[in-house]
Amino acid sequence: MNVDGERLQADLEANGEIGSIDAEEGRGRTVLTGTEADRRARERLVDRLEDAGMEVRVDAVGNIVGRWTPESADPDAAPVAAGSHLDSVPWGGIFDGPLGVYAALEAVRAMQDANLAPERPIEVVSFTEEEGGRFDVGLLGSSVAAGTRPRTDALALTDSDGTTVDEALSSIDFRGEDVLDASEWDAWLELHIEQDTRLERAGRQVGVVDAIAGIANCRVEVEGEANHAGATPMGERQDALAAAAELVLDVEAAATEVVAEESETAVGTVGKLDVTPNAKNVVPGAVRTILDVRDVDYDAMCSIVEAARESAERLAEERPVRTEFDRYRDQRPSVMSDRCVTALNEAADDAGVSRTELYSSALHDTANVAEVTDAAMLFAPSRDGISHNPLEWSDWGDCTSATRTLAGAMATLAGA
């Protein structure tokens, strides 16, 4: 197969112009679900899928699927699928998501150009709202496709203005009627930029992902009493922020200890604090914060979460504050399929592409898909590890090498 790197580059650059922003450096884009930019990006993809002779359908939450069923394939056989997403974070880069979608399409075109004869149909997929940039729920489309979120619940989600997913997708004519069931796929592959520097440091062209870190999110509320910063003696304060500061440090200490004793890949972060009333001359009366814990070792994740819970309980006992702790998200680590990982490794070797195996510390749609069918991921190097930023960049040669690897693995899994 001859992957056309120039054709892939042209697709990504054209897609990158949709929702483009005026960045001082780099190339950025903002494409949020249900916006005009989202409509244009989707319509362009549909045109390209149809140009490749693929049958296109759209499901109820806007997931787009292009299906190639060559004469050699059994139309009733479970398909091999690949893809990613087209939406972005605000002021994001041009590679995160679209590389995986257009690389999957380029893989199909390469098979067609080479007159390969797959035994299974092949599907190219773009999932809706992977980033959670508008509706604050990441991996939305894949969660519906994998059956972990009812589509009615997904469609009822609202943005900050009260607009529902249903309304947003309907406004751009991508609220479809089809049903996408990821469990019906024989296998799934996703190419993505690494968003880290491990490949760059190792001098490898691709990374074959063998596991995706799980994630636990916890809401912690600390309630004290707002009072005058000048007139309230230190010994009489119910300072919610001072208590929350202890919690933040306790999480850092717990994560550091877990790294030393249980799992060196574990991380724990408190990255958001909502302080009330958030005024310079008022003792803080309430703090609401979110804890983010990730690792490929679920027990290590739980150790950090429990340490945070104990910290919240201790603060309520030792300080004049009340605390509430809610572990509202608990996604276990995902282990990739051996046969899909093997297909990617062998495809890289056959294409003369240098590789290494690694894990993903960021969540991707593949984490949902891996719950219902065989799946694996492939990383292309990210320059300086920068992502979610206009400076995000993957060299075109690396994108082509990764796409060549993806195409080889898709062909193998489809029996070509």
Dump pLDDT digits (tens) for 337-362.
Answer: 999 999 999 999 999 999 999 999 99
Contact by Cβ (8 Å): 111, 52: no
C-alpha–C-alpha distance, residues 29 and 402, integer Å:
23
Q: 0.95 exceeded by the pTM?
A: no
% of residues, the chain, pLDDT over 70 = 100
The CATH code belonging to domain 214-331 is 3.30.70.360
Residue/partner pairs of 145-152 with CB below 8 Å, 24 or more apart: 145/59, 145/63, 145/180, 145/181, 145/182, 145/368, 145/369, 146/182, 146/183, 146/368, 146/369, 146/371, 146/372, 147/181, 147/182, 147/183, 147/372, 148/368, 148/371, 151/59, 151/60, 151/61
pLDDT digits (tens, 9 = 90+) for 46-64: 999 999 999 999 999 999 9
Mean pLDDT of 88-112: 98
- pLDDT at position 177 over 90: yes
Mean pLDDT of 310-322: 98
Peptide bond into 320 cis (omega under 30): no
Mean pLDDT of 188-211: 97
Domain 5-212+333-413 in CATH 3.40.50.2300: no
For residue 99, which of 163, 235, 5 has the smallest C-alpha distance?
Answer: 5
Residue 413 is encoded by which pair of tokens? 């899994």
C-alpha–C-alpha distance, residues 371 and 349, integer Å:
28
% of residues, the chain, pLDDT over 90 = 98
Contact by Cβ (8 Å): 139, 367: yes
Q: Where are the domains of the chain?
A: 5-212+333-413, 214-331
pLDDT score recorded for residue 77: 98
Residue 395 is encoded by which pair of tokens? 């060299």
In this prediction, residue 1 has a pLDDT band, given cuts at 50, 70 and 90, of confident
C-alpha–C-alpha distance, residues 314 and 317, integer Å:
5
Evaluate whether 5-212+333-413 and 214-331 have a shared fold: no
C-alpha–C-alpha distance, residues 50 and 259, integer Å:
49
Residue 111 φ/ψ region, left for φ over 0, alpha for ψ in the -120 to 50 degree band, beta for the rest: alpha
| Structure-token match 């983010």, residue found | 292
For residue 277, which of 232, 233, 226 has the smallest C-alpha distance?
Answer: 226
- The half-sphere exposure of 387 on its side-chain side, counting CA atoms within 13 A, is 18
pLDDT digits (tens, 9 = 90+) for 251-264: 999 999 999 999 99
